[in-house]
Amino acid sequence: MMNGLLYYRGGNFMASIIQRNKSYAVIYYNKSEGNKSKQKWETYSTKGAAEKRKWEIENATAFLGIAPKLSSLSELLDEYIRVYGEVRWSYTSYSSRVSLIKRYIIPQIGKVRLSKIDGRFISRYFHKLYNAQIVDNKYNPASSDVITGNTVHDIYKLLRSVFNQAVIWGIYSESPMKNVRVQKPFSRPRNILSIEQVKEVVRVATEENTSLSIAIQLAFLGSLRKGEILALCWNDFDFEEGCVHITKELIRIADRSLSAIVAQKPLYIFPTYKVNSKTHLVLKTPKTLTALRKVFLPKTLMENLLDYKENQKQKNGKIPYQLIFSNERGQPLETGWVNKQFDALLNQCELPKVVFHSLRHSSTTYKLLVSGGDIKSVQGDNGHASADMVLNVYARIQDEQRKDMANQMENVFYN
């Protein structure tokens, strides 16, 4: 991509074409730093391509400037990140997708010319990626040299989006990904805790780690995500109505993502105390409108929260940022703290190891049972955009209910 101010003469950008052997060079000027004019040369294999580029340069506007030359996949990816990603992606999506591009796409096929990329080329690329999953005839997902099936599928979805944009931009008449398919990775059901097990971890945590106990109760009884819990402030609660308003989430963001994403701005950036830190904790709005919601909480949990708030005031005095979960410096507690404390609690209670997010899965399962299958109410608590997410991902029916169903079929069919 070209930096600096583009050369502008008489109300128009100027360009010329010179034939060099069997190729054609498009020549124009731009102004670099220091306001000095610098000549640019771009080489094309056909006169038609050169004339098209000349027209593109001379019909550029002062506001938009000249569109960068896109000859290789690497150049297309740069433009895709800037024009599409920086406007459409979230902070975390930006970090993960740019990482995929820099690690698995550009080093392997970034220099390939766009004119050489077709369905067969893409199919061969994915075939090579799948072979990279096998090391010494053994599948070893722990190896740093191994590409997992999930990563391959993420690359597939990313490239499909890239080439769809290339079609929209007129670079391709049809996406080379159109008829390419890769195997969708198998997603195992997430292990969850029973309601008795959740009660036990809450009981133990209440005696030893009140902050963790409150976080667990909010995750299970309120169906809240970890980032939503850690972003909660006391003014998010309405103790008269018995509810909490979910308006933000806490995440740690790489500085490069903070500066790159132009379509959204964080609500607040917390100061960092680490020297040369390349990340910041931020409060941001949820990624979907449905995640902005009001969740009604059980009366006992609201009372527990009031007690916790009073203890917090007595211990710390003024509550910095009005955060419910903060450390001794008033900084937010992070997901790493929650994960570490929750793992230790499970070990102490001698319970199966599950991730903290599984409490949200447990919550959804039991709310479906308690409500008699009221999917829309459960969806409202979860903040999902679609009820299908509740049905397809979270509707885990316990063995006891399945046994009852078998007994009912016994009575209906045999008796």
pLDDT of residue 5 exceeding 80, the answer is no
Which pLDDT band holds residue 8 (cuts at 50, 70, 90)?
A: very low
pLDDT at 397: 57
How does residue 265 score in pLDDT terms, banded at 50, 70 and 90?
confident
pLDDT in tens, 223-232: 999 999 999 9
Higher pLDDT, 124 or 395: 124
**Structure confidence at residue 138 (pLDDT):** 46
Where helices occur in 169-281 by DSSP H, the ranges are: 195-208, 210-222, 226-230, 255-260
Domain edges within the chain = 5-58, 73-168, 195-394
**pLDDT score at 394:** 59
> What integer pLDDT is reported at residue 44 of this predicted model?
86
pLDDT at 111 over 70: yes
What is the average pLDDT across 266-283? Answer: 88
User: Can you tell me the distance from the alpha carbon of 133 to that of 140, in angstroms, rounded to the nearest whole number?
Assistant: 7
pLDDT of 18 above 70: yes
pLDDT at 97 over 60: yes
Taking the C-alpha atoms of residue 79 and residue 256, their distance in angstroms, rounded to an integer, is 17
Q: List, as one string, the DSSP characters of 30-50.
A: EE-TTS-EEEEEEEESSHHHH
CA distances (Å), origin 219, targets 188, 206, 216: 22, 15, 5
Residue 391 has pLDDT above 90, yes or no: no
Residue pLDDT, tens place only, 299-337: 999 999 999 999 888 776 666 678 999 887 778 999 999
pTM, 2 dp: 0.79
Say which residues have a Cβ less than 8 Å from residue 159's Cβ, sequence separation at least 6.
Answer: 105, 122, 177
Element (H, E) at 171: none
pLDDT band at 145 (very low <50, low <70, confident <90, very high): low
Q: Is 347 exposed, middle or buried (0-12, 13-18, 19+ CB in 10 A)?
A: exposed
Residue 386 clears pLDDT 80, i.e. is over it: no
Q: Region 134-138: what's the mean pLDDT?
A: 46
Residue 393 pLDDT: 57
> What was the pLDDT predicted at 76?
97
Where is average pLDDT lowest: 32-41, 73-82, 140-149?
Answer: 140-149
Q: What is the mean pLDDT of residues 353-367?
A: 90
Pair 259, 290: CB distance under 8 Å: no
Q: What's residue 320's pLDDT?
A: 65
Q: What average pLDDT does range 95-124 have in this prediction?
A: 95
Q: What is the pLDDT of residue 6?
A: 42
Question: Average pLDDT of 125-141?
Answer: 66
Is residue 412 pLDDT above 90, yes or no? no
Name the residue among 380, 244, 264, 377 with its Cα closest to residue 306.
244
Alpha carbon 307 to its chain's center: 35
- The pLDDT confidence band at residue 238, using thresholds 50, 70 and 90, is very high
Tens of pLDDT along 43-93? 888 888 888 888 888 888 777 777 888 999 999 999 999 999 999 999 999
pLDDT at 317: 62
For domain 195-394, the question of CATH label 1.10.443.10 is answered with yes
Q: Residue 11 pLDDT more than 50? A: no
Residue 393 in tokens? 């991902």
Q: How far is CA 168 from CA 84, 174, 175, 348, 364, in A?
A: 12, 9, 10, 56, 40
> How high is the pLDDT of residue 136?
45
Average pLDDT over residues 372-380: 82
Mean pLDDT calculated for residue range 179-192: 84
Lowest-confidence pick of 2-6, 20-24, 108-112, 370-374: 2-6
pLDDT at 351: 95
